[in-house]
Amino acid sequence: MAGFFGNACARNVRMGAIACLTGSWAAVHTGGSGGSELPNRQWIKFQGRGRDTIRMAVAYVNRNADRTFTTPTYTAHYAIVYPSMSVIEEPISDDVRVFVRAVQNGGSSGGMKVVVVEYS
């Protein structure tokens, strides 16, 4: 977690949930639609919740020079894909944005919910 004052525990935490649909990439952070990552974020944990016929594709994007992020334009074929209900926890700063996209694996559900926790 955060290394404030030489202590490796979290000082701040923020939780939320986002919709992850099959047709587009969604930013994974707790700042809401159009929001941003938890300032000074050091860790992120998220879980895609859906039926067992859907998967969660994950892509990572670096912050641009103008402090914005560019949403991925490629398909889920170029991303890491996790089964539904997988918990992903990674050390990652607020200079990297995580994007997710639902991928059908049979059946049809349209998407899933992704629960997000950010720590700083």
In the chain the domains, ranked by start, together with CATH numbers, are 13-119 (2.60.120.10)
pLDDT in tens, 42-76: 999 999 999 888 999 999 999 999 999 999 999 88
| pTM for the structure as a whole | 0.88
pLDDT at 62: 95
d(CA 116, CA 17): 6
Rounded (10°) CA dihedral 1, 87, 36, 59? 110
Question: 25: closest CA among 83, 99, 81?
Answer: 99
Q: What CA–CA distance (Å, rounded) separates 55 from 58?
A: 10
